Structure 1
Amino acid sequence: MVNFDIKSAAERRLIQLNELDKIRHHAYENSKLYKERTKAYHDSKILSRLFKPKTRYFCPFIVKEIRPYGAIVLLTPDGSREFTVNEQRVKHYWAKATISDGHIVPLDGAPPA
């Protein structure tokens, strides 16, 4: 007697399946938005690595040539030796700037400590 009318039971079951599809679609959209946001966040944390020839990188080595597919030819500071490395291994060289005695450095617009 519970499902005596087969037509109404079939319609109810069809409505339940449609609701389940809506819930699935909603979950898919939410996961898609989450993935896009996390990718954008992680991509914003990536530092750019644009290397130009004849500049100093990775300790005091000098970039001689940039080859296709991420290969870089480095030169030692005295120019006696050159070797090829993967671009992903090369890092920027942040040398300490030397300031001569008597030179005044303006601190206008400097960030607070």
Structure 2
Amino acid sequence: MTAYKTPIGRTPFQLLYGKACHLPVEVEYKAIWATRLLNFDLKTAQEKREMDLHELEEVRLDAYENSKIYKERTKDFHDKKILPKDFKSGDHVLLFNSRLKLFPGKLKSRWSGPFYIKEVLPYGAIALIGKNEREFTVNGQRVKSYAADIIIPEGPSIPLYESSQA
């Protein structure tokens, strides 16, 4: 309850009660001090309580704004890491096998395939066709393009070592 929370800039106790959390001895001392300060004047105590409530509302609004800013920043940070994937019908892709985590092999790849894309469906879904001509639909985030059939043009050859024969 007294741990400081970075995103909202307050402790949970401060959000709930509008003041810092103290030990019971300090609270009792402050209560006596507050009653002596106010001299049991109900009007002054009422005004102070109203001011405290307004201040608490401002603290809560500040915490809400800080939380909103924190969520926007973390969303932007994670959205930057998402790479756009543009697939077309007829492309070759590899499919990520998420179930391999349960029984991993040391050198076994989690990517299976290649598969052909039959159709790109709305909202990121992709219809794939396997080797046995069976069609199934997967989430587009689970596939990546397969580049085995792309031919890289050869440029001038570069020797890997210098021959010392002269």
TM-score (norm 2): 0.50
Q: 1:104 aligns with which of 148, 152, 155?
A: 155
Over aligned residue pairs, what C-alpha RMSD do you find?
2.7
Q: Deviations over 1:24-81 (max 9, x none)?
A: 11111111100000001101101223321011111432212234562413254xxx62
4-13 or 83-92, which deviates more: 83-92
Q: Structure 1: which 5+ residue stretches go unaligned?
A: 106-113
Aligned to 2:82: 46
Aligned to 2:11: none
2-structure distance, mates of 1:68, 1:42: 23
Segments ≥4 residues shifted beyond 6 Å = none
In structure 2, do the counterparts of structure 1 residues 68 and 35 end up closer, same or farther at CA, with 3 Å as the change threshold? closer
2-structure distance, mates of 1:99, 1:31: 49
In structure 2, do the counterparts of structure 1 residues 9 and 75 end up closer, same or farther at CA, with 3 Å as the change threshold? same
1-structure distance, mates of 2:86, 2:150: 21
Q: Deviations over 1:4-25 (max 9, x none)?
A: 3211111011111111111111
34-43 or 91-100, which deviates more: 91-100
- Tell me, yes or no, if the aligned pair for 2:92 and 2:117 is still in contact at 8 Å: yes
In structure 2, do the counterparts of structure 1 residues 96 and 75 end up closer, same or farther at CA, with 3 Å as the change threshold? closer
Name the SS for the 2:144 alignment partner.
coil
Aligned length: 100
In structure 2, do the counterparts of structure 1 residues 73 and 5 end up closer, same or farther at CA, with 3 Å as the change threshold? same
Q: Structure 2: which 5+ residue stretches go unaligned?
A: 1-34, 95-112, 157-166
- Tell me, yes or no, if the aligned pair for 1:56 and 1:62 is still in contact at 8 Å: yes
Name the SS for the 1:63 alignment partner.
strand
Aligned to 2:146: 93
TM-score (norm 1): 0.69
- Tell me, yes or no, if the aligned pair for 2:117 and 2:126 is still in contact at 8 Å: no
